[in-house]
A and B are shown apart, each in its own frame.
Chain A
Amino acid sequence: MDEGQIAAAGTATAGDAVTPPVFVARDLAKTYGSGKAAVHALRDVNLEIHAGEFVVLLGPSGSGKSTLLNILGGLDAPTSGTACWRDHQLTGASESELTAYRREHVGFVFQFYNLIPSLTVRENVQLVAEIADNPMDIAQAIELVGLTPQIDRFPSQLSGGEQQRVAVARAIVKRPDILLCDEPTGALDFDTGRIVLAAIQRVNAELGTTTIVITHNSAIADMAHRVLRLRGGRIASEERNSKRLDAMEISW
């Protein structure tokens, strides 16, 4: 039994209640290139993630964490293996099925915010609310990340941390089932980074959104229910935090 299967075998808790797995990945592998030039970004990854869980994927750059997140987010396809979300097969799904999956279920937060510069805070959030079936109130989503005073500002009038909180509001406004955060504090300083993490943590706690955060910053791991460490494309270890820290308590 390899490390991936160890991870997969674990049952997880969100809060302290046992919930069924929402993500199941089996023998995931991703190879870029071929022959001698082949780069194995992921090998034999097996994992289960449960509803409401806050999972941190930790690893140095090149460990395969982004590749894994991209596959789970429906942005990339594995070379072999399967990944499914509830009853959605993510592997082998068509482009339009993946688009529908992202649209209906996934909220993204990116390292560089990826806000639309020509739209205000409200409009950036509204942009996603428009294509969601059951979005939350826009003002409420913005309130959740503490940006109500800046609601009519443009991204260029906001600090990096504020922009990232807009990204969080944008991600959660459609009440996603999963929140995928790719290095959300990567471009931010310590103080701003913590505020953003607090927003993400609050979404996880208050809305029960399954949250996966990838980072190379091990301090963030203390916030998670579960921490998966990746190295060389494999899940090297899995830890469960018996005591989770509040975002404002962590430091790096």
Chain B
Amino acid sequence: MSMLDRKLLRDLWKLRTQALAIILLIASGVAMFEMALSNYLTLRSMQVRHYEREAFADIFADLKRAPASLAAHISGIDGVAAAEARIVQPVRIMREDGDASVSGRIVSLPPTGQPELNRLRLTRGRWIEAGKRNEAIVNAAFADARHVRTGDTIDVILNGRLEKFTIAGIALSPEFVFATRSGLPLPDDHAYAILWAERSSVAAAFNMEGAFNNLTVRLAPGASEAAVISGIDRKLEAYGGTGAIGRRDHPSHRFVEDELAEQRTMSVVMPLIFLGIASFLLNVVIGRLVTAQREQIASLKALGYPNAPILLHYLKLTAALVLAGTVAGGLAGAWLAAQMIEMYRPFFRFPDWAFEFRLWLPLASGAMAFAAAMIGVVLSVADVVRLPAAVALRPSTPGTASTTAFKSLRHLGLAGPRSMMIVRTIVGRPARTLMTICGLMLAVPLATMGLFWWDSLGYMIDFNFERVERSDAQVTLIHALPSRAVREVSRMPGVFTAEGSRLIPVRLVNGHRSYRTVLQGVSEGSELRVPRESDLQPVAIPPEGVVLSRRLAAKLWLSKGDMLTVEVQEGGRPLRQIAVAGLADDILGLSAYIARPALNRLMREGDLVNSIALRIDPREAAGVWSRLQQTAKVEAVAIRSSLLRSFDEKISGLINVSAFILTGFGILIAFGVVYNAARVAYQERAWELATLRILGFTRRETLTVLFGELAIVVAIAVPLGLVLAHWLIALILRLRDNESFQLPAIISPATFALSALVIIAASVTSAILVRRLVEKLDLVAVLKTRD
């Protein structure tokens, strides 16, 4: 072992507390990066595997009714690899608890068992026995939400007739990773079920023998989706086709993509920012560690050591720290990732749930940390070796440059020499002060970035469920009914207000841009559905023209006054040009509003509604639901409280998991940063502090000099950090790519205060730890050493 290597080991031992802090910093960055990214990649690969194994279709089409023989013609379309015809129908599920809100879909299964596309993956139970007409398989999300077990019998209303089904199995499907009813922005597993039953039993109930009303298609490799879709649309036109859609517009896929996009933000962008900050700090800390050995480096140079082995020596020191941090962080990250991935299980209904270790993640983040540390080392070593050995050997008390800075303050009439010591140290070494401020400033957003999600979600819920959608329930009717139906409902006991609206599935088109959504025909003077600006001002819906959500308008490159093509996806599928009459801000989904009379005219129909929004007396809720359940014309009832619960589970829950981890790591790293800053400030001034003690200053007086500096730096850094946090959060939210919901950059004063408090608490804790060092200062040693 060379003597320099021996020095390396001894230095590491001597610096063990600081080394430990650096190792923890690296380990936190590496662990967090690995955990978050690994979870995201694992979710992605589970999605891809699920789609492949269970043969998720590429194109989906609904139609009114077509003879089974048409399926063969569709298979013949150029670019179609496989086509499967099914019957998919709305059903209602009766619950003994009288809850009217459970609706669903029943999907036919071929007599041969597994379909070719959108196969089922049984998680419990068994396949339907051939020939058993009243057996069904249910989707796992609903089974879990409603505690449905295999062998249970459930009452299902098919086409107005009640039938009993026995649950043979519980399954996952790539088609229903998130089972969402059209028109609702969120999946609600409590209120929405998917049942699979043998074709014959579904056909019998809906009079669909020898016919189908739903088609799924797999594309041949290299086939054009658009060409196949228009081919299918042509074939289905005569059979009431409502327009085929690609995966992009498939509700479950869209939601999976949005949730994964959310995870990408939380798991890639945020940890990268964290790792970046940690690397910057590492750079600073390591740089200072080297600078502190200035005289040793000069001595080595004076002894005739060339620069290369000296640099190598410090790089080895860095490598040792980074290696230790990477190994510790890699192991911790893998362990955390394996624990964390379990927490995603209720959100993503994928089969084959398994943690996958990816070695490259800790390696990549370790390499990034090493690169950052290396820059710090090279710059600091270069700084020292550039000086003639004789100069470097002298203590690095402030040089002429900083003296100039001191001079400018000479006549500043401050309280006294100790205040001057504080101020001049801050101003006289601007580079050092700047680094410390930067470090502390960067620590602030680490706390804010975890905490703000709760503010943002709280705002979202308030905006969407209190200000825009103000009803207690939305009743979806099976068929559009004259608006007097609304008056009937409003006369039900327990109903305060009922408002009818007309909801029509549409494709909004501007040039080559298009988006499928539901056009909401809102009654005049609606109080239960109020589109708003982000400042909460209501947006009036004019008699003509549509009001679009601002994000939707941006997506379609439209602004107020532009003309928009509306392709109705229902009935005669009329196509109209309508002006964009106004813009509104929405958070959940991408909405389009129109006055109901205008929509009725567009559909060339009378005064019809197919959705009724209700305000009810909460004390009579059960009675209202039960009466609605008796009504054959009702397809589904979406209850706000249930939607809110679903929002809590599907969106808040998922964000909370990540935000919780981000906050934890953020606070941990912030503490590390502040402690290091305090520790380095102490180290650089230990000599001065000891001198003060010898001169007769008490511990308290001595500490005011050190902590005065820290306090001023914290006072400068924290407000800057809060501004930075605001910028970073706005940036992160801009980088989000999510259609399902828009997270506003809302940061409450409490979150700002808490972030500041975290840094202040970290500073106080660090100060307490450093105080012990000041108390243990070796006064005698100071007399025998220079700086």
Which residues of A line the B interface, CB within 8 A? 66, 70, 73, 75-76, 95-96, 99-100, 102-104, 106, 108, 110-112, 114, 116-120, 123-124, 126-128, 130-131, 152, 154-157, 170, 182
Closest chain A CB from B702 CB (angstroms): 10
Query: B77: CB under 8 A from chain A?
Result: no
**Which residues of chain A are near B688, meaning CB under 8 Å?**
116-117
**Which residues of chain B are near A154, meaning CB under 8 Å?**
398, 403, 406-407
Closest chain B CB from A131 CB (angstroms): 6
> When the two chains form the complex, which single residue of B410, B424, B698 contacts A99, counting CB atoms closer than 8 Å?
B698
**Which residues of chain B are near A182, meaning CB under 8 Å?**
783
A119 to B424, CA, bound (A): 8
Would you list 9 pairs from A and B whose C-beta atoms are within 8 A, ordered by A residue? Answer: A66-B780, A66-B783, A73-B694, A95-B699, A116-B421, A118-B425, A131-B701, A156-B399, A156-B400
A216 to B261, CA, bound (A): 76
Most chain B CB atoms below 10 A, which of A96, A131, A152, A182: A131
When the two chains form their complex, are residues A118 and B400 in contact, meaning their CB atoms are under 8 A apart?
Answer: no
Residues 754 to 787 of chain B near chain A (Cβ within 8 Å): 779-780, 782-786
When the two chains form their complex, are residues A112 and B786 in contact, meaning their CB atoms are under 8 A apart?
Answer: yes
Query: B13: CB under 8 A from chain A?
Result: no
When the two chains form their complex, are residues B696 and A102 in contact, meaning their CB atoms are under 8 A apart?
Answer: yes
Query: Which 7 A-B pairs rank lowest in CB-CB distance, beginning with the nearest?
Result: A103-B696, A118-B424, A127-B417, A117-B397, A102-B696, A123-B417, A114-B691
Contact flags (1/0) for B409-453 with A, using CB distance below 8 Å? 010000011101100110010000000000000000000000000
A88 to B398, CA, bound (A): 39
**Which residues of chain B are near A130, meaning CB under 8 Å?**
416-418
**Which residues of chain B are near A170, meaning CB under 8 Å?**
695
Contact flags (1/0) for B675-716 with A, using CB distance below 8 Å? 000000000000110011111111101000000000000000
**Which residues of chain A are near B694, meaning CB under 8 Å?**
73, 75, 102, 108, 114
**Which residues of chain A are near B699, meaning CB under 8 Å?**
95, 99
A112 to B786, CA, bound (A): 6
When the two chains form their complex, are residues A116 and B691 in contact, meaning their CB atoms are under 8 A apart?
Answer: yes
- Please name the residue on chain B nearest to A67 by beta carbon: B780
Interface of B is mostly: helix
**Which residues of chain B are near A156, meaning CB under 8 Å?**
397-400, 403
When the two chains form their complex, are residues A157 and B403 in contact, meaning their CB atoms are under 8 A apart?
Answer: yes
**Which residues of chain B are near A123, meaning CB under 8 Å?**
417, 420
**Which residues of chain A are near B779, meaning CB under 8 Å?**
75-76
**Which residues of chain A are near B785, meaning CB under 8 Å?**
112
Q: Are A118 and B780 also in contact (CB < 8 A) when A108-B695, A128-B696, A154-B406 are?
A: no
A108 to B694, CA, bound (A): 8
**Which residues of chain B are near A117, meaning CB under 8 Å?**
397-398, 688
Contact flags (1/0) for B651-692 with A, using CB distance below 8 Å? 000000000000000000000000000000000000110011
> When the two chains form the complex, which single residue of B398, B698, B783 contacts A118, counting CB atoms closer than 8 Å?
B398
A155 to B421, CA, bound (A): 13
When the two chains form their complex, are residues B696 and A106 in contact, meaning their CB atoms are under 8 A apart?
Answer: yes
**Which residues of chain B are near A119, meaning CB under 8 Å?**
417, 420-421, 424
Most chain A CB atoms below 10 A, which of B398, B428, B696, B782: B696
**Which residues of chain B are near A120, meaning CB under 8 Å?**
406, 410
Closest chain A CB from B117 CB (angstroms): 77
Q: Are A131 and B697 also in contact (CB < 8 A) when A117-B398, A118-B428, A124-B417 are?
A: yes
Residues 215 to 231 of chain B near chain A (Cβ within 8 Å): none
When the two chains form their complex, are residues B696 and A131 in contact, meaning their CB atoms are under 8 A apart?
Answer: yes
**Which residues of chain B are near A110, meaning CB under 8 Å?**
783
When the two chains form their complex, are residues B418 and A127 in contact, meaning their CB atoms are under 8 A apart?
Answer: yes
A120 to B403, CA, bound (A): 10
Closest chain B CB from A9 CB (angstroms): 30
**Which residues of chain A are near B784, meaning CB under 8 Å?**
66, 111
Closest chain B CB from A66 CB (angstroms): 7
A225 to B399, CA, bound (A): 41
**Which residues of chain A are near B786, meaning CB under 8 Å?**
112
A75 to B777, CA, bound (A): 11
**Which residues of chain A are near B397, meaning CB under 8 Å?**
117, 155-156
A198 to B341, CA, bound (A): 78
A157 to B403, CA, bound (A): 8
A114 to B783, CA, bound (A): 8
When the two chains form their complex, are residues A76 and B420 in contact, meaning their CB atoms are under 8 A apart?
Answer: no
**Which residues of chain B are near A102, meaning CB under 8 Å?**
694-696
**Which residues of chain B are near A131, meaning CB under 8 Å?**
695-697, 701
A124 to B416, CA, bound (A): 10
> When the two chains form the complex, which single residue of B416, B420, B780 contacts A70, counting CB atoms closer than 8 Å?
B780
Sample of 11 further A-B pairs with CB below 8 A, known A111-B784, A118-B420, A155-B397: A66-B780, A76-B779, A99-B696, A103-B695, A104-B696, A116-B417, A117-B397, A120-B406, A126-B416, A127-B418, A156-B397
Contact flags (1/0) for B368-410 with A, using CB distance below 8 Å? 0000000000000000000000000000011110010011001
When the two chains form their complex, are residues B695 and A118 in contact, meaning their CB atoms are under 8 A apart?
Answer: no
> When the two chains form the complex, which single residue of B400, B410, B428, B780 contacts A75, counting CB atoms closer than 8 Å?
B780
Closest chain B CB from A74 CB (angstroms): 9
**Which residues of chain A are near B697, meaning CB under 8 Å?**
99, 103, 131
**Which residues of chain B are near A126, meaning CB under 8 Å?**
416-417
**Which residues of chain A are near B420, meaning CB under 8 Å?**
118-119, 123
When the two chains form their complex, are residues B696 and A76 in contact, meaning their CB atoms are under 8 A apart?
Answer: no
**Which residues of chain A are near B425, meaning CB under 8 Å?**
118
**Which residues of chain A are near B398, meaning CB under 8 Å?**
117-118, 154, 156
Most chain A CB atoms below 10 A, which of B695, B697, B699: B695
- Please name the residue on chain A nearest to B416 by beta carbon: A130
**Which residues of chain B are near A100, meaning CB under 8 Å?**
696
A89 to B78, CA, bound (A): 106
Most chain B CB atoms below 10 A, which of A111, A118, A119: A118
**Which residues of chain A are near B698, meaning CB under 8 Å?**
96, 99, 103
**Which residues of chain A are near B701, meaning CB under 8 Å?**
131
**Which residues of chain B are near A128, meaning CB under 8 Å?**
695-696
- Please name the residue on chain A nearest to B696 by beta carbon: A103
